[in-house]
Each structure stands twice: as structure tokens, then as C-alpha cells.
């Protein structure tokens, strides 16, 4: 490596791209060099709050987290490369999709941020799905808006604009109220032909609420939609001060369109062209498969979103992912420490996940429900984590852990069955990423069994969505005219990627099927727990 091509030289010359993603439990920043390789990272841990039965984050927490994350990144740049981070070539912001952020004409928040995790918009989602003949999940922004209207919430008349979390942060940093098409597709349905919000459905919604007398039309309060590759504004002096109060960061840096975590996951796993897909497993778990054409009909189990380039994606989204597994690992870690062990959390996870490989194919008759919050796919408005066994069950550590790992994939399986069996969607590659897959060959093997398809993992998505949005930032300034996002990723990012692929084991497939039969029958127990506990 020459001095001119060193990370330090790239950072000093501003030939880098910065991606920041606000995840559900961590805000992460990744700085990449001209070869798209991460050269520095930063992070800040945070978590949602359950306030007045609403899952939320305060806007103060958003900016405290953003500043702490950027400071962490700048410190890493200084420690690794002995240079002060004052500028970058481009910036991208990504965040949890969906939810409800409503602002008045003065830019003041009108109601607490309602995140994707809430399941409080059932009536609105059902009515809009029928009106549009298009599945509108409870977590979508338009469902939250219509539910607020149905609830008679007084703030609705004063709305000047709506946005997602990524769009809000981008707006405060650049002054631009814009949104990447992938994130926008989780606010309101997108017309694939135009790459914009569906005009016919906008008209239907305006007609639906016409008698309410609001002083706005829906198109006027939604952000402007942009596709990958577009420039979406520049860092303002006020935005630079907001992100870096030290005054070191310079204004004028170009931004790519802000995107949602689903879209950045697609980018980070090279899953943006038809017949490719990815599974992301963290606090929530979701699978996205890029389609070759429209589905035959509407399915409540499937969302229709888009890639950051505007291609149609069928998504299975589950509110509950690995949180319950994390809780059990914490308990076992506490027990290990009580015995005098110095095992850290990664060792605990590795031991528990590895034990699952020794479990029986169907988890020995055990069953678990990982529902900390409600789950629309199983029609539950709230969750109660639950573990159940019968006197005949085989209660071993291997079976116990296999049951919990299977539970983290069970709800996803419901939607994948609709996509692959009912619609016959072809899938050539499924890439898995997220904390669930860090222990080699365990969750990857069980996911292959759950969807009965090959599953690949690799280091290409090691930095996750923050790397994905950094790649989109690079594409916005370095992509050639007319170049498609898929071609850019295939030729300039993933050409030499090393993957490990596991084919589904027939015994695992049969075991997961047996577990699913038991799990579906036991949903009545979960519903009873919600009603009575």
C-alpha cells in the first residue's frame, strides 16, 4: 500500500464515505475508504422506552446518541490513523423503518415518536388494506396516521409533514425533507413504474378523510422520494454543529438519500436483484426477497417494499427476533459467574448455541414463544415470552436452546410459506446476517431447515446496515451515469466476497416441521398468557 492510497491519505483528502444507522439497540457509524473497506467505526448503545403503552425514543436521545456515535468514530479515526476527522466524501443516514413522526409548521414534534414495534393500528391497517387492495402493515406510517385520525387525536389537523427516523435525522442535518424510495415504501405504497408514492392510492386516502376538514393533502405532508444514486442535499453549518459540537466537522458534505434498515441490509448483503434475498436477525427478524414481478394477490403476511433502487421486494417482517434469546443467555451468564466462571457474553452465547446442535431434530417436544411485543403475523397485540414443556418432553440444554432458536424463526416461517408455496417465488440465494448468525453453523443451519433453502453467511455484511448506507453514499458520488445499483455492488464491492453456504439437512427440515406443528397449536397458550398475565 502506498502512502497515497493509505487509509490516512484517503481520510485527509476526504475520499471516504460515512454511513450512520440508528438501530433498535445501537447507533453505529462506519467510515469506508475508496475500496469500500471499513477503516473506522463508532457506536452508541441505546434502547426504546415503553411509555403510556407506546414503544418510543425521545428526540433528545436521538441527538445524544448521534453525537456520541460520531465522537466515537472520530476517536477511532484518531487512534487508528493519527488524523483528525474533519470531512468525508459523502454521508448517508439509515434507521429503523416505518413508525410515526409528525411535525407542525415550526418543526415541532406533535406526538411522541411511535416506532415500528407498536401494534396499535389494527383497525387502520385493516381498513386501508381493503381500500387500497394492498397490504398495509400496522407499523407503516400511513397506518399510524389513519389510526390517529380514527382516534380523534387533535394534533392531526396541525401536521405539516411526516417522516421516518432516517428522514427526520437527514432533514435536521441537511434541511432537505427527502427520503430514499426503500424507506418511503414503508410509509405509503410506491408505484414501481414511477418510483414515487402511488398517486391513485393517495387520491383514495384523501377522499376517505375529506370530511375531516384537515388543511393538508397527503402528498403535501410526505417527503420527496429519491432513488439510490441521487444527491439528497449537503451538510449545513447547523447540521454539522448538531452532529459534532466541537466544530471540527466541516459543512458542505453531500448526502445520499436516507434509507431504512431493510434497504441497507439488502445492500450490505448484495441482495438487490431479482431472485436474491436476505434475512436480518436482531431485535426484530425479517426476510426480504426481490421479485421478478407483482404477486398474484394481496397477502396479509407479506409487505411489498422496494430496494433502494426501486425494485419490488416481498418482505416478511416479525417484530420479535433475538431479544428473548439474549435474555436467556444473560441468565445463564449470571449463573456461570455465580459458579466463579469468567466467561464473557460471547463465550456464553457460543456454548449455548453449540449445545443446540446436540438437540433432537424437533427440540424434544419443547416449545417456546419469543414474544416480548405484539406480532401482527399471529394477530397478537402484545407479547408474553413463554416456554412450555409437557411431562413427556425431553428437557435437556440442547433441546432447550434448539427450541428457543426455532422460536426466533417460527413466525418468519409463516410468511415464507406464503411467499414460496402460495406464490411460487423462486429464490436463488438467501443471505443471513445479524447477531443471531455470529456462532458459525448454528442459526444458519436452522434457518436453512426453516425455509428449506440454502443459506449463505459471510464477512461481507460484518458491519451491517451502517456499511450498507455508506456504500449507498459512495454510489451517490462515484456511480457512473446510468449504472444500476446491482451492477455497482456486483462489480465494485462483492466481486471477491467469500461466502459459506449450507444446504438444508432433511432431518432438520423434518424436525422443524414437527416443531412448527406444535408451535402453531400452542399459540392458544400464548394468547391466554397475553389475556391473563
Divide the 533 residues of the chain into consecutive groups of 10 and give the mean pLDDT of each group: 71 96 95 95 95 95 98 98 97 97 98 93 96 94 98 98 98 98 98 97 98 96 97 97 98 98 92 92 90 92 95 94 95 96 94 97 98 92 95 97 98 95 88 87 96 86 85 94 93 88 96 98 97 96
73 assigned to some structural domain:
no
Residue 510 domain boundaries: 323-408+506-532
Residues 102 and 212 in one domain: yes
Assess contact for 416 and 316: CB atoms under 8 A.
yes
Q: List the Cα angle 336/340/346 in 5-degree steps.
A: 45
Is there a single domain that holds both residue 512 and residue 498? no
As a dihedral over the C-alpha atoms of residue 457, residue 408, residue 283, residue 116, rounded to 10 degrees, the angle is: 110
Asked whether residue 37 is assigned to any structural domain, the reply reads no
For the record, the C-alpha cell of 270 comes out as: 448484495
Question: What pTM was computed for the model?
Answer: 0.86
For 113-176, give the DSSP string: -B-TT----HHHHHHHHHHHTS---TTSHHHHHHHHHHTT-GGGGG--EEE-HHHHHHHHHHS-
Q: What is the pLDDT of residues 395-426, one digit of tens each?
A: 999 999 999 999 999 999 999 999 999 999 98
State the Cα–Cα distance between residues 397 and 336, nearest whole angstrom.
14
Q: Are 43 and 72 in contact (CB under 8 A)?
A: yes
Predicted confidence (pLDDT) per residue in 193-249, tens digit? 999 999 999 999 999 999 999 999 999 999 999 999 999 999 999 999 999 999 999
Counting the structural domains of the chain, the total is 3
Based on the fold, state whether residues 310 and 359 are members of the same structural domain. no
In whole angstroms, give the CA distance from residue 398 to residue 386: 18
SS3 content of the chain, % helix, strand, coil (to 5): 40, 20, 40
- Check whether residue 420 and residue 313 sit in a common domain: yes
Specify the DSSP class assigned to residue 476. H
Cβ-proximal residues to 150 (8 Å cutoff; 6+ apart), any chain: 123, 124
Torsion, Cα of 235, 236, 237, 240 (10° steps): -30
CATH number at residue 104: 3.30.420.40
Residue 1: its pLDDT value, please? 44
447 in the same domain as 497: yes
Cell of 439: 456462532
Considering the domain architecture, whether residues 317 and 195 belong to the same structural domain is answered as: no
Q: Look-up: residue for cell 439437512?
A: 505
Asked if residue 203 is part of any domain, the answer here is: yes
Q: Give the Cα separation of 528 and 516 in Å (integer).
A: 19
Which residue is associated with the grid cell 485527509?
Answer: 12
Residue with cell 493509505: 6
Cell of 19: 454511513
How does DSSP classify residue 423?
S
Task: Looking at the structure, tell me whether residues 195 and 341 fall in a common domain.
Answer: no
Question: What pLDDT, on the 0 to 100 scale, is given for residue 17?
Answer: 98
Would you state the pLDDT for residue 461? 60
For residues 327 and 395, membership in a common domain is answered with yes
Indicate if 306 and 447 belong to the same structural domain.
Answer: yes
pLDDT of residue 460: 66
Total number of residues shown for the chain = 533
Do both 343 and 377 map to the same domain? yes
Kindly state whether residue 77 falls inside one of the protein's structural domains: no
pLDDT value of residue 177: 98
One domain, residues 448 and 511: no
pLDDT at residue 3, as a whole number: 43
Residues facing residue 291 across a β-bridge: none
Q: Are residues 282 and 382 in the same domain?
A: no
DSSP secondary structure, 369-413, as one string: E--SEEEGGGTEEE---EEE--TTS---HHHHHHHHHHHHHHHHH
Placement of cell 418482505 in the chain: 315
Angle between helices 506-521 and 397-417 (to 10 degrees): 80
Tell me the pLDDT tens digit for each residue of 385-396: 999 999 999 999
Amino acid at each position: 500500500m502506498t502512502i497515497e492510497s493509505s487509509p490516512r491519505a484517503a481520510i485527509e483528502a476526504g475520499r471516504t464515505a460515512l454511513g450512520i444507522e440508528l438501530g433498535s439497540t445501537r447507533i453505529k457509524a462506519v467510515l469506508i475508504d475508496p475500496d469500500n473497506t471499513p477503516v473506522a467505526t463508532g457506536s452508541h448503545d441505546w434502547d426504546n422506552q415503553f411509555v403510556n403503552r407506546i414503544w418510543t425514543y425521545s428526540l433528545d436521545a436521538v441527538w445524544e446518541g448521534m453525537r456520541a456515535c460520531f465522537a466515537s468514530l472520530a476517536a477511532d479515526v484518531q487512534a487508528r490513523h493519527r488524523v483528525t476527522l474533519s470531512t468525508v466524501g459523502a454521508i448517508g443516514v439509515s434507521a429503523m423503518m416505518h413508525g410515526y413522526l409528525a411535525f407542525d409548521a415550526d418543526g415541532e414534534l406533535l406526538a411522541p415518536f411511535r416506532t415500528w414495534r407498536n401494534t396499535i393500528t389494527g383497525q387502520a391497517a385493516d381498513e386501508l388494506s381493503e381500500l387500497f387492495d394492498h397490504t398495509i402493515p400496522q407499523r407503516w406510517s400511513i397506518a399510524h396516521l389513519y389510526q390517529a385520525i380514527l382516534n380523534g387525536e387533535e394534533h392531526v389537523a396541525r401536521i405539516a409533514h411526516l417522516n421516518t427516523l432516517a428522514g427526520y435525522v437527514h432533514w435536521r442535518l441537511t434541511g432537505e425533507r427527502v427520503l430514499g424510495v426503500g424507506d418511503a415504501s414503508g410509509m405509503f405504497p410506491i408505484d414501481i413504474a414511477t418510483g414515487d408514492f402511488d398517486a391513485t392510492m393517495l387520491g383514495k386516502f384523501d377522499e376517505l378523510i375529506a370530511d375531516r376538514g384537515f388543511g393538508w393533502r397527503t402528498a403535501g405532508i410526505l417527503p420527496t422520494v429519491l432513488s439510490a444514486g441521487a444527491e439528497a442535499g449537503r451538510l449545513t453549518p447547523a447540521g454539522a454543529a448538531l452532529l459534532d459540537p466541537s466544530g471540527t466537522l466541516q459543512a458542505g458534505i453531500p448526502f445520499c438519500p436516507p434509507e431504512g434498515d431493510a434497504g441497507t441490509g439488502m445492500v450490505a448483503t448484495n441482495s438487490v436483484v431479482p431472485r436474491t434475498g436476505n434475512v436480518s436477525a436482531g431485535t426484530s427478524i425479517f426476510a426480504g426477497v426481490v421479485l421478478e414481478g407483482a404477486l398474484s394477490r394481496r397477502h396479509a403476511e407479506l409487505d411489498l417494499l422496494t430496494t433502494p433502487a426501486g425494485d419490488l421486494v416481498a418482505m416478511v417482517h416479525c417484530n420479535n427476533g433475538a431479544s428473548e434469546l439474549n435474555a436467556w443467555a444473560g441468565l445463564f451468564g449470571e449463573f456461570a459467574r455465580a459458579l466463579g466462571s469468567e466467561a464473557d457474553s460471547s463465550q456464553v452465547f457460543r456454548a449455548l448455541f453449540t449445545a443446540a446442535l446436540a438437540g433432537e431434530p424437533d427440540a424434544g417436544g419443547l416449545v417456546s414463544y419469543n414474544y416480548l411485543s405484539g406480532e401482527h403475523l399471529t394477530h397478537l397485540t402484545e407479547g408474553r415470552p413463554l416456554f412450555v414443556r409437557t411431562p413427556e418432553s425431553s428437557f435437556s440444554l440442547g433441546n432447550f436452546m434448539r427450541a428457543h432458536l426455532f422460536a426466533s424463526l417460527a413466525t418468519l416461517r409463516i410468511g415464507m410459506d406464503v411467499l414460496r408455496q402460495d406464490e411460487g417465488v423462486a429464490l436463488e440465494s438467501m443471505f443471513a446476517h445479524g447477531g443471531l448468525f455470529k456462532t458459525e453453523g448454528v442459526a444458519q443451519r436452522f434457518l436453512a431447515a426453516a425455509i428449506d433453502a440454502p443459506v449463505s453467511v459471510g464477512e461481507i455484511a460484518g458491519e451491517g446496515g451502517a456499511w450498507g448506507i455508506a456504500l449507498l453514499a459512495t454510489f451517490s458520488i462515484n456511480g457512473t451515469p446510468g449504472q444500476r445499483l446491482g451492477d455497482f455492488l456486483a462489480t465494485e464491492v462483492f466481486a471477491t466476497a467469500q461466502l459459506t453456504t449450507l444446504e438444508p439437512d432433511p432431518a432438520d427440515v423434518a424436525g422443524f416441521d414437527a416443531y412448527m406443528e406444535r408451535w402453531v397449536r400452542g399459540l392458544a397458550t400464548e394468547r391466554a398468557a397475553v389475556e391473563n398475565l
